[in-house]
Amino acid sequence: MEDPKEENQKDDLYEHFSFTVDKGQNPLRIDKFLMHRIENISRNKIQQAAKNNSIYVGDETVKSNYRVKPYDKIQILFTYPPYENLLLPEELPIDIVYEDEAVLVVNKTPNVVVHPGHGNYSKTLLNGLLYHFQKQELSEQYAPNLVHRIDKDTSGLLVVAKTEQAAYHLSSQFFHKKCERIYYALVWGDVKEEEGTIDKNIGRNPKNRLQMTVLSEEGKGKRAITHYKVLERFHYVTLISCKLETGRTHQIRTHLKYIGHPIFNDKRYGGDSILKGTMFNKYKQYVENCFTILPRQALHAKTLGFVHPTTKKEVHFDSELPTDMKNVIEKWRRYTQHNTKSND
């Protein structure tokens, strides 16, 4: 059987290097450009990275003969984390809602990366946890083991194993779909059904490797199942809950885009485009104000349940929506009520 921990991680891509080209740069093949920018790397290795679709300019992959231009944003991504053995403890604020000798549960704030990657090699949750262990003089006995992850701009609950035994036990639960994970999401559009299930395979988008996508071809990607339920309607956006049966990379974001309801202000999956055709006055300005209040995708990991690896008892945790999501939901609630009354 495939290792469950590997199953959860193997789809991730990590940024190893990134550059913004100087304004005075003359046209130059990207393989030559990178050879001068990256220490101890061969041209052959750069060309192999390009062949593997691991070099990006903006959101598009490029080949080794691409000629760089001023202000190009270049990234080199690989499937394994960089500098993993060089992680250093850092004193960072962490909201630990539960901790014992086997596990700890964190309520992650938005804009915090869980694990180094995508250009974030410090100030990650893992750096903070290493400091937490060191401060409590636990670092010789325990080490933080990430058995699942939450995107940088997604907030909410995350369980971390403190021992290898706990890590395997929890990873097995995730792999066998025995953990309870419920997210709240504010999505574009008036979701038609009160509840439903999206059962569609997900894989890396061949046109944009930073995205996942639903794959219609049989046998491609990995099966992903999301159960959703409408919680509150605001005419042009809807608050829903999403219960995960599987845990694929960007699963909720990909599935909701597929059914035509991308998550509000999800820049990677089109949720930062303003929905047209509204009855509201000054609608564009209103939505842009909402984006300012909530400068990220409106997604929160609200509920987490699992069997404790030591006590073997079921434990459940619930978290409040963060302030930015609560404020935007309340803003939609008031604005919708006001405009509904105005049209009565």
Higher pLDDT, 283 or 312: 312
Q: Is 235 left (phi over 0), alpha (psi -120 to 50) or beta?
A: left
Same fold, 86-176 and 177-344: yes
Residue type, 247: G
Selected from 3.90.1300.10, 3.30.2350.10, 3.90.930.12, 3.30.70.80, the CATH number assigned to the domain covering 177-344 reads 3.30.2350.10
DSSP output for 178-228? -SEEEEEEEEES--SSSEEEEE--EEEETTEEEEEEE--STT-SB--EEEE
199 is catalytic: no
Strand ranges (E), the chain: 14-20, 28-29, 55-57, 60-61, 67-68, 73-78, 96-99, 103-108, 145-146, 155-161, 180-188, 195-199, 202-205, 208-214, 225-233, 237-244, 299-307, 314-318
pLDDT of residue 2: 42
What's the CATH class of domain 86-176? Answer: alpha beta
Domain spans, the chain: 4-78, 86-176, 177-344
The least confident of 118-127, 219-228, 282-291 is: 118-127
pLDDT of residue 3: 45
Contact between 213 and 254 under an 8 Å Cβ cutoff? The reply is yes
Q: Give me the phi and psi of 153, to 5 degrees please.
A: -95, 5
- pLDDT above 90 for 42: no
The least confident of 2-6, 60-64, 187-191 is: 2-6
pLDDT mean across residues, the chain: 86
pLDDT of residue 19: 84
Catalytic residue among 151, 153, 266, 324: 151
Cα–Cα distance between 178 and 240 in angstroms, integer?
A: 22
- pLDDT above 50 for 10: no
Cα–Cα distance between 259 and 261 in angstroms, integer?
A: 6
Domain 4-78 grouped into CATH 3.10.290.10: yes
Per-residue pLDDT tens digits for 243-284: 999 989 899 999 999 999 999 999 999 999 887 655 566 888
